[in-house]
Amino acid sequence: MSAMIIKGSEIAKQIREELKHEVEELKKKYNLIPGLATILVGEDMASKVYVGAKEKACRELGIYSERIDLQYDTTEAELLALVEKLNKDEKIHGILVQLPLPRHINKTNVLYAIDPKKDVDGFHPVNIGKLVLGDPEFLPCTSLGILELLIRSGIETEGAEVVVVGRSNIVGKPIANMLFQKKKGANATVTVCHTGTKNITSHTRRADILIVAAGKPKAITAAMVKEGVVVIDVGVNRLGSGLVGDVDFDSVKEKARAITPVPGGVGPMTIAMLMYNTIKAAKMAAGIKEKIKE
């Protein structure tokens, strides 16, 4: 079997082009420029790369971008005061605090301080609660990116057996909740596996769609999947001189119907969905009806 390679980089490019036209329309018709503020605390190199990529995406789409770099020893109180200032700033529609934060800052306190209507990461408990209830405003970017990959690749989720490996608040829990909702692009039967799961292979081999966010390189092998499975690999791990996912791509692609590569799979979709959420936040703030289907 020759698997279809789901190229997130190409799908993300298509979405960003759509969003660019959306931003142009907002400027022309409503004199509205979506604004995103990113906050980076410390000198973590990976975080700098991520924030730089988000800035670049904003420039390409015509979104106003405000980057705030803070010293590692910034106090939690100082960071919370900055978040509150941005909450009140009318030209800022989305606030993103880049994780991880230094150990002396309580991540939960900071994320909870963001106005839910500016929570373009989709991590505030108000937005997570609305997701669980089936009435979301902002969906977590990586999980929303996975959903878009499935929809735009023509992968049917209705009635499918979906297995999610990983239960993080960033990917595992949100995507599981999104896929069992009674909605288009969802309505699946979802199983979540984690470190406490016994005989994980008995679950992964049942999957029509397997979503892996385990945080362990090549954790899923060909022996753990069935013929014709669709595999979404969320993992990014440095192994030797290159990057690999949580799935043993070379062996699993021989059995899969479709599979995402690493890099170039889920990663580019996360930033595209952050841009989507920022534009959505700007429209909500201005009372403009959402036009892009979710």
69 is a catalytic site residue? no
CATH code at 175? 3.40.50.720
Residue 287 domain-assigned (yes or no) = no
- Tell me, yes or no, whether 75 lies in a domain: yes
Beta bridge partners of 5: 259
The CATH number of the domain where 50 resides is what?
3.40.50.10860
Q: Which of 54, 173, 280, 283 is catalytic?
A: 54
Strands 35-41 and 64-70: parallel
Can you say whether the dihedral through the CA atoms of 219, 221, 225, 228 is positive or negative?
Answer: positive
What pLDDT is recorded for position 172?
Answer: 97
Is the domain of 208 the same as that of 115? no
Characterize 141-154 residue by residue with b for buried, 16 or more Cβ atoms within 10 angstroms of its Cβ, and e for exposed. bbbbbbbbbbbbbe
Q: Count CB atoms within 10 A of the CB of residue 167.
A: 17
**Reported pTM:** 0.94
Is residue 246 part of the annotated active site? The answer reads: no
Structural domain contains residue 212: yes
Query: Tokens for 101?
Result: 């934060």
Beta strands in the chain (DSSP E): 4-5, 35-41, 64-70, 94-97, 161-165, 189-193, 209-212, 230-233, 237-239, 242-244, 258-259
**The predicted structure's pLDDT at residue 240:** 82
pLDDT digits (tens, 9 = 90+) for 100-126: 999 999 999 999 999 999 999 999 999
Which residue of the set 98, 233, 248, 253 is catalytic?
98
Number of domains, the chain: 2
Q: Write out pLDDT tens, residues 45-86.
A: 888 998 999 999 999 999 999 999 999 999 999 999 999 999
Our measurement of the distance from residue 194's CA atom to the centroid of its chain's CA atoms, rounded to an integer in Å, reads 19
Q: Is-contact 120 36, C-beta < 8 A?
A: yes
- Looking at the structure, do residues 210 and 264 belong to the same domain, yes or no? yes
Q: Is 87 exposed, middle or buried (0-12, 13-18, 19+ CB in 10 A)?
A: middle
- What dihedral do alpha carbons 35, 41, 45, 49 form, nearest 10°? 0
85 φ, ψ to 5°?
-65, -45
- pLDDT tens column, 8-32: 999 999 999 999 999 999 999 999 9
Q: Is residue 189 part of a domain?
A: yes
230-257 residue pLDDT tens: 999 999 998 888 899 999 999 999 999 9
- Of 119, 121, 208, 246, which is the active-site residue? 121
Task: Say whether 98 is catalytic.
Answer: yes
Asked if residue 127 belongs to a domain, the reply is no
Q: 99: domain range?
A: 32-119
Inform me whether the pLDDT recorded for 290 exceeds 70.
no
